[in-house]
Homo-oligomer: A and B are copies of this chain.
């Protein structure tokens, strides 16, 4: 072999070392700024080995977050079809994931995010880069409005998860998914495609 990294690919613990380094990098630098090369360096392995184990940077990120689902597999269902129905489809898909066994991991992720700034940062990066960016770039929305629309969508979806799965406030906690799709879908739709107020930051208030 021409290249030696000092660790054999099969070395037990190598995979975990890469994931630890990835978690640190994504949380500290954000998804876009974190590089496979730097993560490999921290873990003491060759970058090729990171790709070998985890594939793309997206996939490494999902593995590092222990994300129970890959948004790239779910989003085509949401994005296909009438743009006027995207709000309802997003809520329907969201509930299908959370109502499945994967929802347990989702609740664990929420718990971790609120008690730990590092996880909160990872969750933020996940929501923005893996979900919202993909949904919103697919649509005919002014780029300058994407961040506000995206984070408004996030307020409603994270709140739905909190009330249904964590606080378990009735009747949302045990409502039929389609009741929630019909109730919350129009909210999401408005945040994505409806009229929003001109944006100001708090310095301008």
Interface residues of A (CB under 8 A from B): 110-111, 113-115, 120, 123-124, 127-128, 147-148, 151-152, 154-160, 162-164, 166-179, 182-184, 186-187, 190-191, 196-202, 204-205
Contacts and interface: CB of A to CB of B under 8 A. Distances in A.
A151 B127 contact: no
Contacts of A148: 171-172, 175, 179, 183
B154 A158 contact: no
Contact of A147 (B114, B151, B158, B171): B171
| Complex A-B, nearest 10 residue pairs according to Cβ-Cβ distance, in ascending order | A159-B159, A176-B205, A182-B197, A151-B172, A155-B159, A176-B200, A155-B163, A151-B169, A155-B160, A158-B159
A159 B201 CA distance: 19
A159 B165 CA distance: 13
A156 B154 contact: no
Given A148-B175, A200-B178, A169 B191 contact: no
Given A120-B168, A147-B170, A171-B199, 11 more contacts: A111-B115, A113-B166, A124-B169, A128-B169, A148-B179, A148-B183, A151-B163, A151-B172, A155-B156, A174-B202, A179-B197
Contact of A172 (B111, B155, B176, B177): B155
Nearest to A128: B169
A192 to B, nearest CB: 12
A119 to B, nearest CB: 10
Q: Chain B CB within 10 Å — which of A151, A173, A176, A197 has the most?
A: A151
